Amino acid sequence: MIRKNHTPVFFLALWCLLTVPVFLSCPAHAAYSATVAVTGTIPQVTYNISISGIDTGNATVSWNTNFPGNSTVFYGTTTGYGSLSTDGVMTEDHEIALNNLSPATTYHYRVVSIDLTGNRAAGSDATFNTTTASQGAVANTTMESTTFAGTTVQTVDGVQQVSLNLSSLPGTPQVSGNTVTLQNPASGWNQVQYTGSGVSSQDGNITLGHIQSVSMQSAPVTASLGGSVGTVSTQVQIGLTQLVPDVSLQQSIIQGATASASSAFQLAAANSNLNVQAVAYTVEFHNAAPLDACMNSACVRINLSLDDAWVAANANGNVNNVRVLRFGDDGRKEALSTTFLCRQGTTDYFEAISPHGLSLFGVAAVAPAASSGGGTSSSGGGQSSSGTGGSSWISPFAAPAPQAPPVAQQAPQQMGPPENAATTTQSLTFAGLEAATGPSGIQTFTFNTTLAAQSGVSATLRNTSLLLGQPGLAMIIVTDGNPSVGNGVISGTVRSVSIITAPAPATLSFGNVSVAVNGSLTSIPQNAAITTTISEVEGSDVTGALTGAAENNNRQLNAIAFVATITGTNFTATGPAAVSMGVSPGWVGSHGGIPAISIGRIGDDQSAELLDTSSLGNDSQGLLVFEGSSSRGLSLFGLISTGPAVTPGQQPSTGLPSVPGSGISGTNFGEFLMSNRYILAIIAAVCLIAGGALITLVWRYRRQKW
C-alpha cells in the first residue's frame, strides 16, 4: 500500500516510465540521417496562366501544363462561374477564347486540364475586367419579319382578308369569336392577333374576312451592356389597322446614346420640363414606316428593362425618375408616358406608350428642370402636335382657359363628397367638329380645320387616328378606314372615341392633389361635359365601401388620401377608363410607400373594387401620380393606402404552462431554448465550475480525513 506522503513520487515515476522510452527512440542525429523514398507519379500542374485580348466582349486565356490534356475555362461574374468554354485537343499549350462578355464587367475564371486517364490539374481563381463600351456602340441587332408561313393576305375592294393554312402554319392558333390569336408564329414574334368581321374554318384553313385590327407582340431581345446597366431586354407590341406583309423590321440595342441622339433626348425632356441626367441605352428601329402608317389607336407599347444598380446610381434610386424618350424619323421629340411595371431580382421593368410609332427610343434618368421664374408657355418656343416636334400626345394641353360648358347633371350615386369640395368642369366640345348619327347607329363626323385653328384647337391626322387638342382636353377619333381630306375638312366614319383630360387640381388639408381621366366613349358626344369633384372623405359610407374592396383583395385599408367623383353630362362612359390621381410624395412615404398605394372604385350600384394600379412617376408639379384601370367606366374613385390583411385568431393551446413574464407558450418553449443557446452555454459553464469546485472541496475534505 502506497502511503500518502509517497503519492507524488509514485506519479512522477509513472510519468518517467511512459515518456523516457519515447525520447530514447528518437536520437538527435535521426533528423539528419533519415532517407525519404519518393513513390507514385509526378504531380500534374498548370502554370504560365495569362489572359490577353481583352475588350468590351472578348478575352483569351492561355496556360501550360506538364502533361498533354484538354482545355477548359470556367468563367462568370462570381466564383460560382456559371459558364465554360472547352477544347478537347490534348496538348501542353492551352488557349481558350471567351466571347459574348459584357462590357465594363469583372469576371472570375479558372483553368482546368484533364488527361486521357482522367487525372486533373486546375489553376486557382483569378479575375479580369472587360473594357467599357463606347457610347453609341451597337450591342445587338435582330430582325422581325411580318411575312408568316401558312398565311395568305388578299385585299378586295379595299378590304383585307387573311387565310391561315393549319398544315403549314407555325405556332398554335386560338379562335375566340371574330378574333384569331396565333402563339409563337416565328419570324421574331411571340404573338399575332387578328380581328375581323367574321371567322370561318374550311378544308384546313381559317379565314378572317374584313380585317379590322392586327396586334403583334415581338419576342424579347436582350443585350449585355455591362457596368451598372447589366443585361437589358426590349419587347414591342404594335397595334395595326391591318396586316402589313413583307416588312423586315430591324431592331438594334445601343450602348448609351450617340451625340445626336443625346441632344434630341435632351430636347424631348425639355418639352416636358425635365432634364436628362443619363441615358442607359438606346433602342433603334429601322424599316418601321409601313407599320407606322397603319398604326391604330392601340399605338406602340415598348417594354424595357435595366439593372436596378443603374437606377440607384443615376436616378437617385427612384424608378419614377426613369423615362423613355423618343426621337422620331420626322424630327418629333417627346417624353413618353412611362410606367414602372415590376422588379424581378435586381432587374427593373418599364413600359412606355408611343402614340406616334416606332423610331429611336432612349431609356433615361430625368430630373425636374430648374424653373425660369416666369412660368412656361405651352406654345412659346415649343412645337405643336401638328409640327415636327413636341410631346403633344403626352401633354396636349395648353394653359387652362375659362370655359362655358353646359351644367353637369347630378351624380347618380348616393355616395358623394361634401359641398365644399373642389369642382372642375371641362367641356367636350371642339370648335369645327360636328357629328351625326344615322338610323343604323353609325356616326359620321366632319372637322373644319380652319375654324378649329381660329379657336386654338390643334389637330394631328395619322392614318385613321385624328387627335384634337385644346386647353384642358384631348380627343382621339379613330375612323373606320382612312378619312377623307379636302378643302381643309376632314370627314369619316367613327369607329371609336377616347378623351384625355388635363389634371384637375385641388388643395386639401395635407397638400395639393390632382385627377385626370382617360376614358373610352362609344361616339363623339354633343354638348357634353365632364365634371371632376375632389374632396377629403367625410362619412362612413365611402370608408366602409373602400374597406370592403380592400378586404376582397386580402388587404386592409390603412388610409384614404382623397376621393374624386367623375360624372358626365350628355354622354356615358361605361367602357374602359384610366383614372390618374396625384398626391404629394410625403403622403405616399408616410403611408407605406408606392407599393402600398391603390385606387378604389365605388360604382353607381354601390359595388366597390380595387383597380389595377400602377405608378406613373412625378408630374411637373412634383406630385406622385398613380393610374387605375377601370373596366366599368367612370364613377367615384379613392386614392388609398392598404396593407396585408391581419388574420384574427390565437395559437392553439397545448396545456403546457407559459414561461412567466416572457409570453412564450409551451408549444414553442423548445424554440426559445434553441434561440438562447448562449445563455444555456453560460449556465452549463457555471455548473461545470461549481461542480469542479464541489469536487475539489470534497477531495480536500477526504484528504484531511485521510
H-only helix segments in 157-244:
none
Are both 483 and 605 inside the same structural domain? yes
Residue 15 above 90 pLDDT? no
Q: What pLDDT does 525 receive?
A: 92
Please give the Cα distance from 280 to 272 (Å, whole number). Answer: 19
Please indicate, yes or no, if residue 180 is contained in any of the structural domains: yes
Please indicate, yes or no, if residue 33 is contained in any of the structural domains: no
DSSP codes of every residue in 267-314:
HHHHTTTEEEEEEEEEEEEES-HHHHHTEEEEEEEEEEEEEHHHHHHH
β-strands 612-618, 624-630 pairing: antiparallel
Question: What's the average model confidence in pLDDT over 319-347?
Answer: 92
DSSP codes of every residue in 25-49:
TS-TTHHHH--PPP-SPPPP-EEEE
Are both 89 and 119 inside the same structural domain? yes
Residue 344: all three cell numbers together: 424581378
Are both 79 and 194 inside the same structural domain? no
Are both 117 and 147 inside the same structural domain? no
Residue 3 above 70 pLDDT? no
pLDDT band at 388 (very low <50, low <70, confident <90, very high): very low
Please give the Cα distance from 268 to 332 (Å, whole number). Answer: 8
Residue 419 above 70 pLDDT? no
Q: SS3 sequence, 556-618?
A: EEEEEEEEEEEEEECCCCCCCEEEEEEECHHHHHCCCCHHHEEEEEECCCCCEEECEEEEEEE
**What pLDDT digit, counting tens, does each position of 575-634 carry?**
788 899 999 999 999 999 999 999 999 988 888 999 988 887 777 788 898 988 888 888
Q: What pLDDT does 647 receive?
A: 64
Are both 246 and 349 inside the same structural domain? yes
As for how many domains the chain has, the answer is 4
Residue 562 above 90 pLDDT? yes
**102: CATH:** 2.60.40.10
Q: What pLDDT does 554 receive?
A: 92
**What pLDDT digit, counting tens, does each position of 519-553 carry?**
888 899 989 999 999 999 867 889 999 999 999 99
Out of 157-171, 554-568, 570-584, give the one with best mean pLDDT: 554-568
**What pLDDT digit, counting tens, does each position of 429-465 carry?**
999 999 999 888 899 999 999 888 888 888 888 788 8
pLDDT band at 385 (very low <50, low <70, confident <90, very high): very low
Q: What pLDDT does 226 receive?
A: 80
Are both 285 and 316 inside the same structural domain? yes
Identify the residue with better confidence: 677 or 179. 179
Residue 92 DSSP code: E
Q: What is the pTM of this model?
A: 0.44
Q: What pLDDT does 702 receive?
A: 64
Are both 516 and 495 inside the same structural domain? yes
Please indicate, yes or no, if residue 40 is contained in any of the structural domains: no
Residue 370 above 90 pLDDT? no
Q: What pLDDT does 648 receive?
A: 58
**What pLDDT digit, counting tens, does each position of 36-59 carry?**
343 444 667 788 899 998 887 889
| Domain end among 350, 368, 386 | 368
Contacts of range 605-611, beta carbons closer than 8 Å, 24 or more positions apart: 606/413, 606/414, 606/415, 606/545, 608/545, 608/546, 608/548, 608/549, 608/552, 609/549, 609/552, 610/549, 610/550, 610/552, 610/553, 610/555, 610/642, 611/579, 611/637
Span of 116-130, 239-253, 262-276 with lowest mean pLDDT = 116-130
Please indicate, yes or no, if residue 587 is contained in any of the structural domains: yes
Please indicate, yes or no, if residue 560 is contained in any of the structural domains: yes
Please give the Cα distance from 592 to 497 (Å, whole number). Answer: 37
Rg (CA), the chain: 37
Question: What's the average model confidence in pLDDT over 113-120?
Answer: 84
Are both 52 and 149 inside the same structural domain? no
Residue 22 above 80 pLDDT? no
Identify the residue with better confidence: 226 or 559. 559
Please indicate, yes or no, if residue 215 is contained in any of the structural domains: yes
Q: What pLDDT does 588 receive?
A: 93
Average pLDDT over the chain, rounded to an integer: 80
Q: What pLDDT does 304 receive?
A: 95
Domain of 684? 667-700
Identify the residue with better confidence: 394 or 673. 673
| Domain end among 629, 644, 659 | 644
Please indicate, yes or no, if residue 567 is contained in any of the structural domains: yes
Are both 116 and 147 inside the same structural domain? no
Span of 450-464, 502-516, 612-626, 669-683 with lowest mean pLDDT = 669-683
Are both 466 and 558 inside the same structural domain? yes
Are both 122 and 152 inside the same structural domain? no
Q: Which residue has the cell 461549481?
A: 690
Q: What pLDDT does 56 receive?
A: 79
**What pLDDT digit, counting tens, does each position of 63-79 carry?**
998 889 999 999 998 88
Are both 117 and 245 inside the same structural domain? no
Please indicate, yes or no, if residue 410 is contained in any of the structural domains: no
Q: What pLDDT does 202 receive?
A: 85
